[in-house]
Amino acid sequence: HCSVKSCGTLDFLPIKCSYCQLIYCKEHHTPYTHKCDKVPEKQIKSDVEYKSSLPCHICQIVDIVNVVCEECTCVCCMSHRTLEQHNCKTLPSNQPPTKPPTLPPPSSGKGDS
């Protein structure tokens, strides 16, 4: 079972962390995803470098090079790297509709004062 308490997934191909020696599922096997506290300080990478080793949030594939969207910061494989391919939340089509301006009621034209 995955060592992340909130997960506990029974994985038939578990992965052992080389730092803490605990067993993890494919979703939590990287030191970043299970917040490994045994990684030596000098080996801690930037958030983007760690995120690039996470699975794509669309297809769950861990590619050799996953990318982090600069707009929404989600992790994507090469197939889903463009804004349209991963349906980026920053696309205009994903924004809430804007409310049309409220117009004043029409005047009767009979000297409204």
Which three-class secondary structure string do you get for 78-93? Answer: HHHCCCCCCCCCCCHH
Intervals of the chain under pLDDT 50: none
User: 15 forms bridges with which residues in the sheet?
Assistant: 24
**pLDDT tens-place string over residues 62-80:** 777 778 888 887 888 888 8
**Is the CA virtual torsion 32, 58, 56, 9 positive or negative?**
positive
With beta carbons less than 8 A apart as the criterion, state whether 99 and 109 touch.
no
- What pLDDT sits at residue 61? 83
DSSP 62-80: --SS-EE-TTT--EE-GGG
- What pLDDT sits at residue 37? 86
Token output for 9:
């997934």
- What pLDDT sits at residue 73? 79
Amino acid at 38: K
- What pLDDT sits at residue 48? 56
Token output for 90:
């920053």
- What pLDDT sits at residue 41? 66
User: 76 forms bridges with which residues in the sheet?
Assistant: 67
- What pLDDT sits at residue 112? 53
Which letter does DSSP use for residue 54 in this model? S
